[in-house]
Amino acid sequence: MDHSEILAQVRRRNPNEPEFIQAAEEVIASVLPVLAKNPEFAKLKLLERMLEPERLISFRVTWMDDAGNVQVNRGYRVQMNSAIGPYKGGLRFHPSVTPSILKFLAFEQIFKNALTGIPMGGGKGGADFDPKGKSDNEVMRFCHAFMGELARHINHRLDVPAGDIGVGGREIGFLFGAYKKIKNEFTGVLTGKGLGWGGSLIRTEATGYGLIYFAENMLQEKKDSIKGKVCLVSGSGNVAQYAIEKIIQLGGKAVTASDSSGFIYDEAGFNTEKLAFLEDLKNNRRGRIKEYADKYKCSYKDLDPKADQNPLWNIKADCAFPCATQNEVNGKDAGNLVKNGVKLLGEGANMPTTIEGINILLDNGVNYAPGKASNAGGVATSGLEMTQNYMGTSWTREEVDSRLISIMKNIHDVSLAAAKEYGKPGNYMIGANIAGFLKVARAMQAQGVI
């Protein structure tokens, strides 16, 4: 089957799944030269197999809200590929969750996990539940009901979920409590746990820190650094907060942050005090980002989800770090970034840039880091949490951080080397796709036709 036939089959098999098709299209195009060089991979239909989840579980989640009303949500777990290790990938609680979103995330996760060098397969899950506006007790009842079903399908050697959008420390706690009670065992079945009960230091910070370590590696490759760079950041959740923290630590200036309502532009840049305010606002008070603008007297704009461009990406800057959600940088936004002098875009979110956007960035010489490489620090540190749980130990902050730094450097170097080997020097997207694909393909080849 050639490239267009594989893509046509993906489209036929997955109608109404635009996000999954988008993620598939990017990888299929990138790995064509690998298939040409290794005809046995094509014969064994390894790519076609990777495009089909090993298992997709969908289940009803019934719970009661504070007013005594019964609520019904839909939960999922996509067990995408276990060739190199147990399924690993986050849980997303957001009203936009569909099989398409979770399959794209699980598919990306296969290659991302392979790049970390830690033996983890790809998976993802979640529910169309919206934690926004829910009380802690409602979130707890939902998490307990969700785990009531998920517990049948996971364990610490088979499938180890973590957090993602809408699933942070609070939710992981409730989910873990339910799993422990149902299974009557204390194991590392989830990552992102609290530090007093099996969690790893630096896991919370890892995705945002890892993103900026990756960007620093890209800049160092060009004898440059993040010091003094003006950075646009979107989102204000887990990834955005720690990306901003690391930008500050390395001497850069982060000037924006957003939530699903709007974005702030603080020309003076974040400092540690302002960041602490944002963290308290988002993590403890669960408020809207507009409050930041009111407090620090900076600009705030509502975001119009129907608009054809996002004004956050139309600000003069050196670097851009989308850390909110998928497809938040489209072709027009990419054009605006180029026009405003942005020279590097590192994806903190998963697939935040559309294919058109990526092409515009690459055509204009922007140093572009795909999420599956640049945001892999989170899952890598989840892998380190799993290792510590298996060993029954916990490492120091310095130990975990130094492992994270070296993993991100390795992902950077491996992606760059693969891009060069396949005639696309400097193209991190193609390099990451090829390096991740090769590792999984070789494992699948060794394991036979299953």
Point out the residues that are catalytic.
124
User: Residues 42 to 81: which contact ligand NDP by CB under 6 A?
Assistant: none
Q: Are 200 and 379 in contact (CB under 8 A)?
A: no
Residue closer to ligand NDP (CB basis): 85 or 90: 90
Q: Which residues contact 97 (CB under 8 A, 6 or more apart)?
A: 76, 126, 127, 128
Candidate ranges 135-143, 229-237, 384-392, 413-421; the one touching ligand NDP (CB under 6 A): 229-237
What phi, psi does 79 have (nearest 5°)?
Answer: -100, 95
Under the binding rule (CB under 6 A), the answer on residue 353 touching ligand NDP is: no
Cβ at position 5, least distance to ligand NDP in Å: 30
Strand order in the sheet with 70-81: 55-64, 70-81, 121-127, 87-93, 159-162
CA distance 350 to 101: 10
Q: Pick the binder of ligand NDP from 188, 237, 252, 431 (CB under 6 A).
A: 237
CA distance 400 to 395: 6
Under the binding rule (CB under 6 A), the answer on residue 260 touching ligand NDP is: yes
Q: What is the DSSP letter of 420?
A: H
Residue closer to ligand NDP (CB basis): 222 or 286: 286
CA distance 301 to 54: 43
Under the binding rule (CB under 6 A), the answer on residue 349 touching ligand NDP is: yes
CA distance 344 to 365: 9
Q: For the beta carbon of residue 370, count every other beta carbon within 10 angstroms.
A: 29
Residue closer to ligand NDP (CB basis): 184 or 284: 284
What mask of x and - would describe binding to ligand NDP in positions 402 to 431, judged by CB under 6 A? ------------------------------
CA distance 88 to 122: 5
Q: How many helices (H) and strands (E) does the chain have?
A: 17, 13
Q: Pick the binder of ligand NDP from 238, 330, 367, 433 (CB under 6 A).
A: 238
Under the binding rule (CB under 6 A), the answer on residue 350 touching ligand NDP is: yes
Size of the site for ligand NDP (CB under 6 A): 22
Q: For the beta carbon of residue 8, count every other beta carbon within 10 angstroms.
A: 12
Q: Pick the binder of ligand NDP from 100, 116, 236, 415 (CB under 6 A).
A: 236
What mask of x and - would describe binding to ligand NDP in positions 305 to 324, judged by CB under 6 A? ------------------xx
Under the binding rule (CB under 6 A), the answer on residue 348 touching ligand NDP is: yes
Q: Which two tokens stand for residue 205?
A: 């910070």
Residue type, 367: N
Q: What is the DSSP letter of 134?
A: -
Under the binding rule (CB under 6 A), the answer on residue 200 touching ligand NDP is: no
Residue closer to ligand NDP (CB basis): 148 or 370: 370
Which CA distances in Å does 15 have to 8, 97, 100, 198, 350?
A: 11, 16, 9, 41, 21
Cβ at position 70, least distance to ligand NDP in Å: 25
Under the binding rule (CB under 6 A), the answer on residue 109 touching ligand NDP is: no
Cβ at position 192, least distance to ligand NDP in Å: 7
Q: Which residue is nearest to ligand NDP (CB)?
A: 237
Under the binding rule (CB under 6 A), the answer on residue 210 touching ligand NDP is: no
Q: For the beta carbon of residue 119, count every other beta carbon within 10 angstroms.
A: 16
Cβ at position 129, least distance to ligand NDP in Å: 13
Q: What is the DSSP letter of 313?
A: G
Name the site residues for ligand NDP (rule: CB under 6 A).
163-166, 168, 207, 235-239, 259-261, 323-325, 348-350, 375, 378
